[in-house]
A and B are shown apart, each in its own frame.
Chain A
């Protein structure tokens, strides 16, 4: 039985011009110990999805769908009840690691605060746990006494991971966790996360626009476009035999260091305005294989082979 079930989730932001359908009918499941990568261009709804799972949406709301953590429905509980779930069962490592730490407290005391808020622990016990957590993310426990400005970006990101692990969660959501880091630091932090995920048997939702990073970290991939899932399947399938034209284009737009001097293809056009998304296939205006029917007929996410789903009207598997 999956640990997390997301069913037909819809999150809208409310603007003067009307609702922006940032996440529009997303369904997936996450198993214990599984890692899922969510990829897509800026504005495809991947961060909104993560924030919906954490119930941290601002300026909008989850307007439909269900999120189940085991048997519990997360959307039906009050925000106070949900606070017990956040950190203790699901926690978030966000994009803005540099800014997420409070500059006037030592990083250690911020982890201690998180632990004490959720668990009935004495200060010295909490510090002990903090030292343990810092060792886990390969930071010298002495560093717990440092202020954020004394640490490098990579170190801060490790502190954020330690903080996310503070209350032994089952699920970690990592949102663009390594995006702001340098290549070498990114590789180090990514390696650490993969290692921790295996060792602690965590379930991981990793959100990034960098496909190659996700490919390394995740068992399963979800490709999102304009608020919807266009393709979902095992990482090897998505990278080895992508089915959806968007996935193919996305993979084609990456630079390969080991190929000869070629500038990869870009995807012409830009993602649709989610105030008034196209009626049929949302990728249709940018698609090169699209047919007339795509303009009006919305493709459904269907299973093209075991565990591999895709939403396209024109794929060979469907015709």
Chain B
């Protein structure tokens, strides 16, 4: 059962220091980007994190990939504490975990050929002794992600590819080392709806074929619902609700989750849509409000919410919510 706890995060926190305007000395103040988050990703499953910009979801992904150092907390990969891994250990670990980035236009080096981009990880890890083996592997990866493996394709540069094709290249280079844990940060948010479905279908197919585990970050609830096994909703650095995909969408417990779902325009236009959308935005916290962070926007808020931070509580069969008024 060791696979049950595949990737675990324990009280993970990230504060970014910021200075007040004109301040050079004295104590810095901190933005609470990720605040005391814990969760477990199970092997072969897709764990989704949904939230608006600034909720801390990207910081969370970056910490998992060691692109950002946590302020406190622990991360365990297959039972091993990887929080304090050094560069060398991380390099070895990256053969098992890789990231797919959001922006297929910005994340690929525009002057390198597709062959070099996809081959980069195997070169860094000195996998192949000769170029021919490497080329065969690159071609195999391109085919795996549904791209042509012709010499013409290998010599193309990112600028000659469409957004969807570029994202496929990104996936190919993430998988070439045989990684099994993929952190995907909004992999399709910059693509057209028609292509989006394609890339998602590809990612799901690869998951089946290679028994991958995904940590999937998105701001689109609909997408999370379609592909994730479990979904966590983040607000202002905290997880406010965690549950199985169907459960969280069909029976949301937290008012913020409800707001996120209500905000999605329905597929069939509905004149009543938008009635429940309150004004207000995700705040920029240096000093988070006391108690529940959502209380300034919440219609259910009362005195308790202003003073006491709600904990994630299991309300029914693994459906957790952090709200005093469920």
Contacts and interface: CB of A to CB of B under 8 A. Distances in A.
B209 interface: no
Interface in A208-262: 209-213, 215-216, 235-236, 239-240, 249-251, 253-258, 260-262
Interface string B255-284: 000011111111111100110010101100
B226 A187 contact: no
Contact of A187 (B198, B201, B265): B265
B62 interface: no
Contacts of A240: 268
A109 interface: no
Interface stretch (B28-36, B93-101, B135-143, B189-197): B189-197
A136 to B, nearest CB: 15
Interface in B229-252: 245-246, 249-250
Interface in B53-79: 53
B52 A185 contact: yes
Contacts of B194: 41, 249-250, 253, 266-267
Given A41-B192, A250-B194, A262-B226, A255 B220 contact: yes
Contacts of A17: none
A72 interface: no
B279 A257 contact: no
A209 B192 contact: yes
Interface residues of A, number: 46
Nearest to A191: B274
Interface in B120-149: none
A80 B280 CA distance: 42
Nearest to A195: B274
A257 B197 contact: no
Interface in A168-186: 182-186
Contacts of A184: 52, 259-260, 263, 277, 281
Contacts of B163: 42
Contacts of A213: 265
Given A185-B52, A261-B225, A262-B226, A254 B265 contact: no
A209 B279 CA distance: 25
B273 to A, nearest CB: 6
Contacts of A138: 279
Given A138-B279, A216-B273, A182 B249 contact: no
B207 to A, nearest CB: 12
B90 interface: no
A232 B243 CA distance: 42
Interface in A108-157: 138, 152-155
Contacts of A263: 197, 200-201, 204, 226-227
Contacts, number: 125
Nearest to A155: B281
Given A182-B52, A183-B52, A253-B194, A216 B277 contact: no
Contacts of A210: 193, 265
Nearest to B274: A191
Contacts of A236: 269
A253 B196 contact: yes
Contacts of A255: 197, 220, 222-223, 225-226
B221 interface: yes
B227 A182 contact: no
Given A190-B274, A261-B226, 20 more contacts: A154-B281, A184-B281, A185-B52, A187-B265, A194-B274, A210-B265, A212-B264, A213-B265, A216-B269, A239-B267, A239-B269, A253-B193, A255-B223, A255-B225, A256-B222, A256-B267, A261-B227, A263-B197, A266-B197, A267-B194
28 contacts: A42-B192, A154-B281, A182-B53, A184-B52, A187-B265, A187-B274, A188-B277, A212-B264, A212-B267, A212-B269, A215-B268, A216-B274, A235-B269, A249-B194, A250-B194, A251-B267, A253-B196, A254-B222, A254-B267, A256-B267, A257-B264, A261-B245, A263-B200, A263-B226, A264-B197, A266-B195, A266-B196, A270-B164
Which 8 pairs, one residue from A and one from B, show the smallest C-beta to C-beta distance? A255-B222, A215-B269, A266-B197, A187-B263, A212-B265, A257-B222, A266-B198, A182-B52
